[in-house]
Structure 1
Amino acid sequence: MTAMPQSPARHSTSAIGMIVLSALLFATMDAGTKYLSAFMSVVMVLWSRYTLQAGVMTLWVWRKYGVRGFRTGHPGFQLLRGVLLLSISALAFFGLKLLPLAEFTAIVMLSPVLVTAISAWFLNEPVGKVRWLLVCGGFIGTLVVIRPGSGLFGASALVALVTMVAASAYSLLTSRLAALENPHTTQFYTGVIGTVLLAPLLLSQGDALPATFASLSAAQIGLLCALGLIGTTGHLLLIMAFSRMGAASLMPFTYTQIGFAAVMSWMVFRHAPDFWAWVGMGIIAVCGGATAWLGRRR
């Protein structure tokens, strides 16, 4: 019996659900990374995460597709995506040590501005005047968050801005690959590339490795493993969402990560953004929500 194809509305609804869930998972992963940064080096945290992702996806791809599941027709794209994600992860590690979780997330949320701008050219997606105005509004909201005198304006904000540029390129490439490759295959290569690139850096730490891991509590080791599963699931959902809906239409929904990050920042670190930071994040959220509504109506 042949399965009935999904309607466009149901297809887009599932994509929106995936992107919002991935935003929740990414906020959770950032909170866990910020917590672990006090106990472990960036190389240890990232290598553990990518190795777990590589192992999980190897078993999944082998069981579901066999040998053919590991074949890729775009090795260059896969390598570039893996390098971009590893760069984002490393930048986020240092950025989260310098900035509060919610504010860092808000700055990185400038990414939809670049994605919307470039997707009109790179992916040939239509972007109307109203959507451009709303995207510019999100940009203004971000400037309110990192305003001079906030304590965020400076080198720490620069790290977040560089992360945002890398995240924009990663989102566009992920959107492109989603139409070309099996999402499980893509996730497999992302994990393997990160593991291989980090291995020499990990080995260079020598005797510090056993001592560091021995000093971790069972809860911290469990969190380290959980971050690998959370990151794997979040990025898999991101690819699957992009395979169902265009990048320009989906990126505004990533603004929900700001709200998730603000809640976790309070729950885990007891940090609440100040008044103007809330104003800026509110502007970003309203503009993102209105942009999303326009996409759904179209």
Structure 2
Amino acid sequence: MRPASVSGPSSLTGIGLMCLAVVSFAVTDATAKWLGGHINVAMVVWARYVIHFVLSALVINPWTVPGLLRTRRPWLQLGRSALLFACTALNFTALQFLQLDQTVSIMFSAPFFVAVFAGPMLGEWVGARHWVAITAGFAGILLVAQPGAGGIHPAALLSLAAALCYALYSITTRILAKTDSTPTTLFYSALVGSVAASLPLPFLWETPTEPLVYGAMLELGLIAGGGHLLLIMAHRRAPAATLAPYLYIQIVAMIALGWLLFDQVPSRWTLAGAAIVVASGIYLLLHERKERAARTLEATLGD
């Protein structure tokens, strides 16, 4: 069977779905930032998880998917879900203090963390060229977070911690893919996040006074859940290596939403840092694709 190419109808559909997914993630962050000005962050995180869980459970549940709760690595499933929850909570908190373009640029340091941790955790050690790209990427993060008389805003460290959590989440997802089904992993993510977000709510609940806030809470869960569904659909139609560069459309979307909704114009430092992060990330993606192709050719010749 011939593999799908970028020019094939399936891959083009996958790319379109990927673009919609990353724009959905940008809208999710923008909504979370707006909600943070009306309710506390704990309620924002709760809305994101619980509404997403309730909606997804209508389709993916133990009755429609027999054996859904069966996992061969329960502790790793819980740990992965906890990492995603921590990433969301840290990112939504940082959004209350930083511009949208700043948070998304810092969050895109996650691929560099993945490259660093893939060696000890997955046995995928990186070479000298990877380390150059990783170093350049972190230099771009410093440009986004720092220049100015005030120095680094403490919230930038929250975004960096969120990126670290997301990198570990990505690695554990790859490990679990060998033993557990995708529906099982998705269900545990939503379930654990919903439980964790609900525990402090009795002590932190603030009854919204504006109907628009309720609408935004509902929209947050819908868009977040829809974005993850679009991401899954995209990966079913095109290879991950084909889709990965389109992740960076999220930076453009975040800059546009920050300008339209919050009158936030990115500084020259943010634009320069984001450009370095994108260039470094795309270099890593292209280099990884080249290495994968070389390994495939080697295996083919070996046969």
- TM-score, scaled to structure 1: 0.82
Deviation per residue, 1:223-251 (Å, 9 max, x gap): 2112112222334555677898679x976
| Residue in structure 2 matched with residue 228 of structure 1 by the alignment | 221
| Residue in structure 2 matched with residue 73 of structure 1 by the alignment | 72
| Residue in structure 1 matched with residue 283 of structure 2 by the alignment | 290
Report the Cα distance in structure 2 between the residues aligned to 1:107 and 1:72, rounded to whole angstroms: 33
Residue among 265, 274, 288 paired with 1:272: 265
Give the 3-state SS of the residue equivalent to 1:67 in structure 2: coil
Contact 1:187 1:232 (C-alpha < 8 Å) held by counterparts? no
Report the Cα distance in structure 2 between the residues aligned to 1:135 and 1:19, rounded to whole angstroms: 24
Q: 1:135 to 1:24 in 2, by over 3 A?
A: farther
What is the deviation of 1:103? 0.7
| Residue in structure 2 matched with residue 172 of structure 1 by the alignment | 171
1:281 and 2:274 correspond: yes
| Residue in structure 1 matched with residue 210 of structure 2 by the alignment | 216
Structure 2 letter corresponding to 1:122: M
| Residue in structure 2 matched with residue 33 of structure 1 by the alignment | 32
1:114 and 2:113 correspond: yes
Report the Cα distance in structure 1 between the residues aligned to 2:146 and 2:230, rounded to whole angstroms: 33
Contact 2:53 2:194 (C-alpha < 8 Å) held by counterparts? yes
1:157 and 2:183 correspond: no
Report the Cα distance in structure 1 between the residues aligned to 2:51 and 2:162, rounded to whole angstroms: 23
Report the Cα distance in structure 2 between the residues aligned to 1:70 and 1:34, rounded to whole angstroms: 33
Residue among 249, 252, 264 paired with 1:256: 249
Structure 1 letter corresponding to 2:111: P
Contact 1:187 1:236 (C-alpha < 8 Å) held by counterparts? no
Contact 2:147 2:269 (C-alpha < 8 Å) held by counterparts? no
1:59 and 2:53 correspond: no
Unmatched runs of 5 consecutive residues or more in structure 2: 294-303
| Residue in structure 1 matched with residue 3 of structure 2 by the alignment | 7
Report the Cα distance in structure 2 between the residues aligned to 1:189 and 1:170, rounded to whole angstroms: 13
Report the Cα distance in structure 2 between the residues aligned to 1:258 and 1:128, rounded to whole angstroms: 28
Report the Cα distance in structure 1 between the residues aligned to 2:151 and 2:31, rounded to whole angstroms: 21
Unmatched runs of 5 consecutive residues or more in structure 1: none
Q: 1:161 to 1:63 in 2, by over 3 A?
A: closer
Point out the more displaced range, 165-174 or 117-126. Answer: 117-126
Contact 2:62 2:69 (C-alpha < 8 Å) held by counterparts? no
**Structure 1 residue runs of 4 or more that deviate by more than 4 Å after TM superposition:** 8-21, 236-247, 249-253
What is the deviation of 1:283? 1.6
Give the 3-state SS of the residue equivalent to 2:141 in structure 1: helix
Give the 3-state SS of the residue equivalent to 1:66 in structure 2: coil
Q: 1:64 to 1:20 in 2, by over 3 A?
A: farther
Q: Equivalences for 1:39-54 in 2 at 5 Å?
A: 39-54=38-53
Contact 2:146 2:153 (C-alpha < 8 Å) held by counterparts? no
Report the Cα distance in structure 1 between the residues aligned to 2:50 and 2:188, rounded to whole angstroms: 11
Contact 1:91 1:160 (C-alpha < 8 Å) held by counterparts? yes
Q: Equivalences for 1:78-157 in 2 at 5 Å?
A: 78-125=77-124, 127-149=126-148, 151=150, 153-157=152-156
What is the deviation of 1:176? 2.3
Report the Cα distance in structure 2 between the residues aligned to 1:240 and 1:120, rounded to whole angstroms: 29
Q: Percent identity?
A: 31
Report the Cα distance in structure 2 between the residues aligned to 1:132 and 1:50, rounded to whole angstroms: 36
| Residue in structure 2 matched with residue 182 of structure 1 by the alignment | 181
- TM-score, scaled to structure 2: 0.80
What is the deviation of 1:67? 3.1
Report the Cα distance in structure 2 between the residues aligned to 1:106 and 1:128, rounded to whole angstroms: 24
Report the Cα distance in structure 2 between the residues aligned to 1:36 and 1:185, rounded to whole angstroms: 30
